[in-house]
Structure 1
Amino acid sequence: MTTIALQGAEFFAYHGFYPEEQKIGCRFLVDITVDFIPRTEPADDELKHTVDYEKVYYMACEEMKHSRKLIETVAQAILDRIKRKYPYVESIRVEIKKLNPPLLGRVAHSAVTVNYNKQ
């Protein structure tokens, strides 16, 4: 089993339930972990035989551009794109953290996590 991961990919986006959140925007951190069984031996040294974390990053970029009310929806959209592109993955974990969410007190971040496990 091989794992690729992106940790702390930072985006400025317009996700939020309240209209002002969708106007003002907010900073988000995205963590993505993908487990898969390599299609060839590592000695093959070919990018086309692995999960390309650069492509995974661009999938996250594209989904973060689409304003949504719930970050759960964004996380699921990222996960779904990874599954479609790499059907041989065994598991995917996508966590999105909303930095300084608009709450009454100081909160570093709120977060959601979606998971996929092939069974």
Structure 2
Amino acid sequence: MIKVALQGAEFYAYHGFYHEEQLIGTHFLVDVQVGFYADIDLDKDNLSNTVNYEMLYAIIEQEMKHTRKVIETVAQAILNRVKTEFTFIEMAEVTIKKQRPPFSGPIKQSVITLSYQK
């Protein structure tokens, strides 16, 4: 299996359950990994023989712009778009890390991960 991933894509976005979070926003880190079996000739050195991670980034960037209350919803939207764009993938995983969530004590990040297996 070939795995293609983006790790630590940084975004400032306005996701959060509380109204204040949607006004102020915060920093997020997003990781996306996909896996597929290569039944093509990789020696041909052709971008169409793999998952284009520039397209992966564009999907993440577009979905991070849509404010949502729950980051699981953001991850699901990213996962759905990745599955639609790259129908040949066998697995995918999306992780979103919300930096310094608003709690009464210091927390580095809250993290959610959604996985897909064909």
Tell me what 2:68 maps to. 68
| Amino acid in structure 2 at the alignment position of 1:115 | S
Q: Supply the RMSD in Å over aligned alpha carbons.
A: 0.7
Residue 97 of structure 2 aligns with an amino acid whose one-letter code is K
Runs of 4+ aligned residues of structure 1 deviating over 4 Å after TM superposition are none
In the alignment, what sits opposite 1:21?
A: 21
Question: Distance in 2 between the 1:12 and 1:99 partners?
Answer: 10
User: Is there any run of 5+ residues in structure 2 with no aligned partner, and where?
Assistant: none
Distance in 1 between the 2:96 and 2:39 partners?
29
Distance in 1 between residues matched to 2:80 and 2:60, nearest whole Å? 11
- State the Cα distance separating 1:113 from its structure 2 match: 0.4
2:38 and 2:69 map into 1 onto residues whose CA distance is: 36
What is the identity percentage for the equivalent residue pairs of Structure 1 and Structure 2?
52
Aligned residue pairs, count = 118
How far, CA to CA, are the matches of 1:67 and 1:38 in structure 2?
36
Alignment partners' CA distance in 2, 1:41 and 1:77: 31
Correspondence 1:104 to 2:104: yes
Where 1:84 maps in the other structure, the secondary structure is helix
Residue equivalent to 1:83 = 83
